[in-house]
Amino acid sequence: MTQLVAYQLPKLGVAGSSPVSRSCPDNVGVYYHKAYNLPPMSVKLLNIDTDSPADLAKMRSGDRILSFNGKLVEDALDLQFLLGERTEVLLERDGNQINLSLNLPDGSEPGWEIEPLELRTCKCNCVFCFVDQQPPNLRSTLYIKDEDYRFSFLFGNYLTLVGISGREFERIIRMKLSPLYVSIHTVDPVVRGKLLGLKSAPVLSKLRKLIDGGIEIHGQIVLVPGYNDGKVLEDSLNELLPLYPGLASLSVVPIGLTKHRKGLNRLRPLSVDEAEITVDIVRSYQKKAMETCGSRWVFPSDELLIKAGLEIPQDDYYEEYPQIENGVGIARWTYEQVEQALEEGLNQSVINGRILWVTGHSAASFLQQIASDISERFIEINIEVLPVQNRLLGSQVTVAGLLCGKDILDSLKDYFRTYSQRNFDKIYLPPDCINYDGLLLDNYSPEEISAELDHLVEAFDGDWVSMITGQSGSNR
């Protein structure tokens, strides 16, 4: 399930210092994978830090790690799981196999950089796939249709479980890759098949298999009117609730439709009435779940609540915020963070600032409320909120995370044309519209926007005191 993440595994590793070379005779596993025609398994070392444990063990950049203590190293995840304080390593270097010994005492890092995981792609053709609804010339990673349990475990990407082999199920359970994030959508195999562009797509037995193997799952239902709403949703919740606590949480999010749907299935957004009915269904199952499990278990996304015209619930409603990355509870969490900053952070800070917060239309009224609360309590702080229309993807896309640099820049220019006397200490962009390289969807950077406007422009970095006063930690 495609999400906006950077597809780069961080440096993995444990620890080490002095080297002890020993032979490692057990390379049977390497031949096993060749004999059974399994995909090539090894991890390439890209860089070795000087005097690091890997260097002292005589590992070199370009080496390919084949096995640790006789166990095949399939990918970078195995490095995390198979490395110990003392590891016998089988390498391939210039076509030859070499045995080395790596010592990593006291949790020290090996001192290597490894090739990133190669992302596996999906075998579905979902009617609502966001990748198919994007215009050309955006960041290349936005066109990747990912379906990779490793990225689900590492980064919380949702996956359908379609096309995952029995061997991969075993690996997930053996390595305890938990929690995983699964796009369930519905438990009806035929309806799910229609949604995923397949004949049939059963999911219940797969969920049970993982849960029986000790894997915790967080599920999502992307609600597509006419497919999996109403009675189909109720039936799904009915079948899924007994999977708690293995199915630890479930989110219900409305379908996202852009204006780029030429040649794709005719779909429509959820109406306000449908959003209300959906929230009612969710609430009735929250009640049942509370009575039987002591958890609300199923949560409507913020977008769904806003669409239904409902208030954002209080903090305790979201329990541990199990699906905040999926837009469930972000508004409440934001409010709580601001409150905390006001109570703790601002006391030690210079309390003034003229700030402009840029956001999408769906969060605008909530942020406006927060901004006026702040201004009432601290009269020297003046925060304005600028909702930006998403011209790139269409007016139905209202979340801040999908705003591009050009739309933001054009809105800001319009704003300053209208209010030429306005002047801000800082303009903040929403954090989730920026990727790990600090770029927006269309590769604009905050610095470029800043240069065009003659105003300081930054993406919000999690420091709420700075977001409120415009003063970063070092200047306060």
Q: How far apart (Å, rounded) are the C-alpha atoms in residues 389 and 203?
A: 37
In angstroms, what is the minimal distance from the CB of 270 to ligand SF4?
17
Q: How far apart (Å, rounded) are the C-alpha atoms in residues 323 and 217?
A: 11
In terms of C-beta density within 10 A (0-12 exposed, 13-18 middle, 19 or more buried), how is residue 43 classed? buried
147 vs 458, which CB is nearer to ligand SF4?
A: 147
In angstroms, what is the minimal distance from the CB of 158 to ligand SF4?
7
In angstroms, what is the minimal distance from the CB of 147 to ligand SF4?
5
393 vs 449, which CB is nearer to ligand SF4?
A: 393
220 vs 286, which CB is nearer to ligand SF4?
A: 220
128 vs 415, which CB is nearer to ligand SF4?
A: 128
1 vs 341, which CB is nearer to ligand SF4?
A: 1
In angstroms, what is the minimal distance from the CB of 135 to ligand SF4?
16
Under rule CB under 6 A, residue 52 binds ligand SF4:
no
Among 1, 177, 257, 312, binds ligand SF4 (CB under 6 A): 1
Show the tokens assigned to 281. Answer: 């269904």
Q: What is the Rg, in whole angstroms, of the alpha carbon atoms belonging to the chain?
A: 25
142 vs 241, which CB is nearer to ligand SF4?
A: 142
x/- site string to ligand SF4, residues 100 to 139, per CB under 6 A? ----------------------x-xxx--x-x--------
In angstroms, what is the minimal distance from the CB of 447 to ligand SF4?
31
Among 147, 148, 274, 303, binds ligand SF4 (CB under 6 A): 147
Number of shown-chain residues binding ligand SF4 (CB under 6 A): 11
139 vs 332, which CB is nearer to ligand SF4?
A: 139
Are 452 and 326 contacting, i.e. CB atoms less than 8 angstroms apart?
A: no
In angstroms, what is the minimal distance from the CB of 2 to ligand SF4?
4
122 vs 177, which CB is nearer to ligand SF4?
A: 122
In angstroms, what is the minimal distance from the CB of 222 to ligand SF4?
8
* Residues between 197 and 236 with contacts to ligand SF4, criterion CB under 6 A: none
In angstroms, what is the minimal distance from the CB of 295 to ligand SF4?
27
In angstroms, what is the minimal distance from the CB of 254 to ligand SF4?
15
Helix (H), strand (E), coil (C) string for the chain: CCCCCCCCCCCCCCCCCCCCCCCCCCCHHHHHHHHCCCCCCCEEEEEECCCCHHHHCCCCCCCEEEEECCEECCCHHHHHHHCCCEEEEEEEECCEEEEEEEECHHHCCCCEEECCCCCCECCCCCCCCCHHHCCCCCCHHHHCCECCHHHHHHHCCEECCCCCCHHHHHHHHHCCCCCEEEECCCCCHHHHHHHHCCCCCCCHHHHHHHHHCCCCEEEEEEECCCCCCHHHHHHHHHHHHHHCCCEEEEEEEECCCCCCCCCCCCCCCCCHHHHHHHHHHHHHHHHHHHHHHCCCCEEECHHHHHHCCCCCCCHHHHCCCCCHHHCCCHHHHHHHHHHHHHHHHHHHCCCCEEEEEEECHHHHHHHHHHHHHHHHHCCCEEEEEEECCCCCCCCCCCCHHHCCHHHHHHHHHHHHHHCCCCCCCEEEECHHHCCCCCCCCCCCCHHHHHHHHCCCEEECCCCHHHHHHCCCHHHC
161 vs 210, which CB is nearer to ligand SF4?
A: 161
**Cis omega (within 30 of 0) for bond into 245:** yes
Our measurement of the distance from residue 434's CA atom to the centroid of its chain's CA atoms, rounded to an integer in Å, reads 13
Under rule CB under 6 A, residue 180 binds ligand SF4:
no
In angstroms, what is the minimal distance from the CB of 227 to ligand SF4?
13
x/- site string to ligand SF4, residues 358 to 397, per CB under 6 A? ----------------------------------------
Under rule CB under 6 A, residue 271 binds ligand SF4:
no
83 vs 182, which CB is nearer to ligand SF4?
A: 182
In angstroms, what is the minimal distance from the CB of 157 to ligand SF4?
9
Under rule CB under 6 A, residue 2 binds ligand SF4:
yes
In angstroms, what is the minimal distance from the CB of 301 to ligand SF4?
16
Q: How far apart (Å, rounded) are the C-alpha atoms in residues 430 and 390?
A: 14
125 vs 372, which CB is nearer to ligand SF4?
A: 125
2 vs 466, which CB is nearer to ligand SF4?
A: 2
Task: Give me the residues that bind ligand SF4 (CB under 6 A), please.
Answer: 1-2, 122, 124-126, 129, 131, 145, 147, 160
